[in-house]
Amino acid sequence: SPSIIGKTISIKGEITGGESILIEGHVEGSISFPHDRVTVGPSGRVSATITAQDIVLQGEVTGSCFASDHVYVRRDGSLCGDVVTSRISIEEGAHLNGSIDIRKEPKPAATKAQPQAAEEVEPELVGAAG
C-alpha cells in the first residue's frame, strides 16, 4: 500500500522516495518517485513538478508531469501544466490545460542479418482512417 500525505498535511519542498505515494493534502515544490506511482487523490492540491513511472490525477495539479509509463487524468482531476509520457488516459469530465508530449522508446536498429519487417500499423489505428 502507498504512503499517504493526509488531507490536513501541507508540505513545501522536495519529496522523493522509492515507494508509491498518495497525496490527499497540499504540496508545493517537487515530487520525484521515478520507479513508482504518484497519486493525487480527490482532495489533493499540488503545485509541483511530478516525476514518476505512473501518475494518477484525481485532484488539482499545477505544474509539469513527467511519467516514464502512464499518466491518468481521472474524471474529477485537473491539470494545468505540460505532460511528457509514453501513454496518457484522460477521462470525460477531466480538465487539462497544457501540452502533451508522447514519447515512445526508440526501437533498436535492424542489423544486416535481420531483414526489415513491413511497416507495422498500431492496432487502435486500423480502420480509423477518415
Interval 5-41: pLDDT, tens: 999 999 999 999 999 999 999 999 999 999 999 999 9
pLDDT of residue 17: 94
pLDDT of residue 129: 46
Q: What is the distance between the alpha carbons of residues 69 and 122, in angstroms, rounded to a whole number?
A: 18
- Give the tens place of pLDDT for each residue, 36-68: 999 999 999 999 999 999 999 999 999 999 999
pLDDT of residue 107: 57
* 88 close to 71: Cβ distance less than 8 angstroms: yes
pLDDT higher at 110 or 78: 78
Q: What is the distance between the alpha carbons of residues 89 and 36, in angstroms, rounded to a whole number?
A: 18
* 6 close to 23: Cβ distance less than 8 angstroms: no
